[in-house]
Amino acid sequence: MSVAADPRHTASRAASVLAATGVTVRFGGVVALSNVSVDVPPGTIVGLVGPNGAGKSTLFGVMSGLLRPASGRVFIDGRDVTALSPQLRARLGLARTFQHPELFMGLTVREHLVVAHRARYERRRFWSDLLSFRALLFPPTEQETDQVDELLDLLGLSDLAATQVSVLPLGLARLVEVGRALATHPSVVLLDEPLSGLDVRATDNLTAAFERVVVNSANGLSLLMVEHDVASVLALSGRIFVLNFGQLIAEGTPEEIRADPAVRDAYLGDEDATAAGVSPPAAGGAVPTDDDETTTPGSES
Ligand code: ADP
Ligand code: MG
């Protein structure tokens, strides 16, 4: 069955906050993405997973506008943005975070969110330019303070509002980075491996914040998460897309993805498969086990 030919892609596109259809990207002789379609409905957390080299970052680049696809289209709220710059896409509601938080170390958590909030109203300047215009020289208005307070509360950062970001551990710096994205009032946020390098406690803290952010959103904010930690993606996402060697090999609910033989095959031999809970059924035993190679070499250790 061809996933790309699935008519649901066409039907759901208009109702999606973000969609990519039929995206193909080549780097020289390498086909990094081949006719890949994904869509993100409003008010959901969507996961994008796949082994190393599968094309996840490439697809992210295409959606955010950093990479032009050889073919295919990208839509934000049903509008074709394929030809638009990353800056214009941001203004249409697409925000993103970076794997390595790009925070200004001299600022406090609160100051970051104030500046990010102001960046929304600065049409010409990039975020980084704002500092040279001394955006912080004038104090926040009451309205700005209220909105930033709300965001701090939502992210669980209220107690750290006056703390310099330079002293924050990675998990909390990632939260500030998410807050920075949210302060621009996006309709969808692309999260690039937000959980990488985090311990279990920081992971739980961050994923709980993701859930709060989506549930509390009045206007159907969605998150699209590229993540290596498949177990967390399965736990968090309503819908998951799986890439392998540039092809979309599966899409569905966490249950469907866990049970999908193609997904399990793709992760065979990948040391992360066992940790991901993708290869053997994690619990309940409801997954057919015809292809019995569910134990990866080294998983015994
Ligand atoms: P993932 O993020 O899933 O690990 P990528 O999207 O980074 O995968 O890469 C997909 C494929 O495209 C890989 O084969 C990778 O080597 C190749 N690739 C990615 N970026 C470039 C680039 N700038 N130049 C050449 N090849 C690239
Ligand atoms: Mg990548």
Contact yes or no for 199/168 (Cβ under 8 A): no
**219 and 163 fall within a common domain:** no
Q: Please identify, among 184, 199, 220, the residue that sits at the C-terminal boundary of a domain.
A: 184
C-beta 53 within 6 A of ligand 1: yes
Domain span including residue 140: 102-184
**72 and 118 fall within a common domain:** no
Query: Whose CA is closest to 228, among 47, 103, 26?
Result: 47
**193 and 231 fall within a common domain:** yes
Residue with tokens 């959103």: 217
C-beta 126 within 6 A of ligand 1: no
**180 and 191 fall within a common domain:** no
* Model pLDDT, residue 69: 97
Residue whose Cα lies nearest atom 6 of ligand 1: it is 55
* Model pLDDT, residue 301: 35
* Model pLDDT, residue 127: 55
Alpha-carbon span 60 to 66, nearest angstrom:
9
**203 and 167 fall within a common domain:** no
**83 and 210 fall within a common domain:** yes
**82 and 48 fall within a common domain:** yes
Type and span of the H or E element at 208: helix 200-216
Query: Whose CA is closest to 227, among 47, 39, 100?
Result: 47
**262 and 166 fall within a common domain:** no
Ligand 1 nearest-atom number relative to CA 246: 10
**88 and 199 fall within a common domain:** yes
Pocket test for ligand 1, best of 25, 26, 27 (most atoms within 8 A of CB): 27
**87 and 111 fall within a common domain:** no
Structural domains in the chain (count): 2
* Model pLDDT, residue 120: 67
**169 and 240 fall within a common domain:** no
Alpha-carbon span 232 to 234, nearest angstrom:
5
The stretches in the chain having pLDDT less than 70 are 1-14, 99, 101, 120-137, 268-301
Interacting residues of 40 by C-beta distance below 8 A, sequence separation 6+: 16, 17, 18, 19, 46, 188, 222, 224
**141 and 81 fall within a common domain:** no
